[in-house]
């Protein structure tokens, strides 16, 4: 492929915020009186805040009206923001900075494509905002992954056609979104969850520019 742009999911690809999402959802489940495990949490990755809450409530067998749902999601987000407001650049995942630096030195454009409404705050905390030519987050989109909107908007903001973009994703919903958007995608994590990606790597340390170009 002719590689012109790389679009990165944020949570679980560039930075390990998945553990903070999990802690905050678990705390909410605990208050409601049920167990919420790491296995359950897998289904929440890449999924928007309200869709995540729906999954959590299903796990607990709990029914809430719309007003209560907004209150619960706000409570979870307040805890989450409290956790991420203490993040440092040490929490950037292995290989991220090297890969971004390499891509940019080759003239390949970089973007964030994240469902999170907290993406800007995270990028500021870890000091990586300037590594991206475009940042598309949950505040800019209407349809969550697996809808391709977030990645298509990322490509558009970069001024690059979808077929010249590669997406990096740690969530099943994100892989589906990349495929639906007509983009190649690299799964970051386990092939067990990310089998539909063109290539799966354990982290960004284990990928070379040639591998990306040869997708
Ligand atoms: C990312 C995470 C999800 C999270 C979503 C919304 O995609 O992988 O676990 O639910 O963002 O994040 P937010 O910070 O807006 O609640
Ligand atoms: Mg993710």
The string of DSSP codes covering the chain is ----EEEE-SBTTTB--HHHHHHHHHHHHHHHT----HHHHHTTTT--HHHHHHHHHHHHT----HHHHHHHHHHHHHHHHHHHTT--GGGBPTTHHHHHHHHHHTT-EEEEE-S-TTHHHHHHHHT-GGG-SEEE-TTT-SS-TTSTHHHHHHHHHHT--GGGEEEEESSHHHHHHHHHTT-EEEEES-HHHHTTSSEEESSGGG--HHHHHT-
For ligand 1, is residue 48 a contact (CB within 6 Å)? yes
pLDDT of the residue at 42: 84
Ligand 1: residue of 85, 115, 150, 169 to mutate (most ligand atoms within 8 A of CB) is 115
Nearest-CA residue for ligand 1 atom 3 is 46
d(CA 26, CA 38): 9
User: Which parts of the chain have pLDDT scores under 50?
Assistant: none
Q: Which of 5, 1, 2, 13 is nearest to 153 (CA)?
A: 5
pLDDT of the residue at 61: 96
Indicate which ligand has the atom closest to the C-alpha of 10: 2
pTM to 2 decimal places: 0.94
CB 173 within 8 A of CB 45: yes
CB 119 within 8 A of CB 137: yes
d(CA 123, CA 206): 23
Q: Which of 35, 32, 36 is nearest to 22 (CA)?
A: 36
Residues whose CB is under 5 A from ligand 2 (ion)? 9, 11-12, 46, 170-171
For ligand 1, is residue 137 a contact (CB within 6 Å)? no
d(CA 132, CA 6): 10
């Amino acid at each position: 492929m002719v590689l012109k742009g790389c679009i990165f999911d944020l949570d679980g690809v560039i930075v390990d915020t998945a553990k903070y999402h999990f802690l905050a959802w678990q705390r909410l489940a605990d208050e409601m009186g049920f167990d919420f495990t790491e296995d359950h949490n897998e289904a929440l990755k890449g999924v928007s805040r309200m869709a995540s809450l729906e999954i959590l409530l299903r796990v607990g067998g709990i029914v809430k009206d719309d007003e209560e749902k907004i209150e619960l999601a706000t409570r979870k987000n307040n805890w989450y923001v409290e956790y991420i407001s203490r993040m440092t650049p040490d929490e950037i995942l292995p290989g991220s900075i090297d890969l971004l630096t390499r891509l940019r030195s080759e003239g390949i454009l970089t973007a964030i494509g994240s469902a999170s409404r907290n993406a800007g705050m995270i990028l500021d905390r870890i000091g990586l905002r300037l590594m991206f030519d475009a940042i598309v987050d949950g505040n800019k989109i209407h349809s969550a992954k697996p809808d391709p909107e977030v990645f298509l908007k990322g490509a558009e903001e970069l001024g690059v056609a979808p077929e010249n973009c590669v997406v990096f994703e740690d969530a099943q919903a994100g892989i589906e979104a990349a495929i639906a958007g007509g983009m190649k995608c690299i799964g970051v994590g386990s092939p067990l969850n990310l089998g539909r990606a063109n290539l799966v790597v354990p982290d960004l340390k284990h990928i070379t520019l040639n591998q990306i170009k040869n997708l």
